[in-house]
Amino acid sequence: MLIYVDADACAVKKETVQVARKYNIEVIMVSSICHISKEDGYSRYLIVDNGDQSVDMTIINRVNKNDLVVTDDYGLASMALMKKAFCISSRGLIFNLENIDRLMLQRYIGQQIRKGGGRTKGPSKHKSEDDLHFIQGLDKLIREAQYNPTE
């Protein structure tokens, strides 16, 4: 089991490493060359070009069944779920086959509104309680992946 982090705009890198260390799981931070951040001494870093979707495609090409993906990108989460990986957002939302279609539809509707010149509300500012929800959710997801792997 590995944890892949969509690290370009990830607000919970430190928290991911904290939980991963508890379970002795390797973390792979994937970011574009434009978003290189200070290494944490625990994670392996993969730096990719700045092309559109480069980080997402690197993650999806490497992720395997029962790996974990940390991302706020519904499209990446959807693809990872199809590969039978486990996915969680930086706010602790666990993506699954029951909620991903609704989330993808919401994303599509928002894109259509913006394409038509309308405006949509973005996500609220990341708060410390979001970090707590993430830590609890990642801990739960790791235990689920270890004891109830996907079929």
Task: List the chain residues with pLDDT less than 70.
Answer: 35, 38, 149-151
Are 34 and 98 a contacting pair, CB within 8 Å? Answer: no
CB neighbour list of residue 86: distance below 8 Å, 6 or more residues apart: 66, 67, 68, 69, 94, 141, 144, 145, 150
Total count of domains within the chain: 1
Say how far apart CA 70 and CA 137 lie, in whole Å.
11
Q: Which domain holds residue 41?
A: 2-147
pLDDT, tens digit (0-9, with 9 covering 90-100), for 5-34 = 999 889 999 999 999 999 999 999 999 887
0.85 surpassed by pTM: yes
Neighbouring C-beta atoms of residue 137, cutoff 10 Å? 18
Query: What tokens appear for 139 in the block?
Result: 């801990």
Q: What is the CATH number of the domain that holds 38?
A: 3.40.50
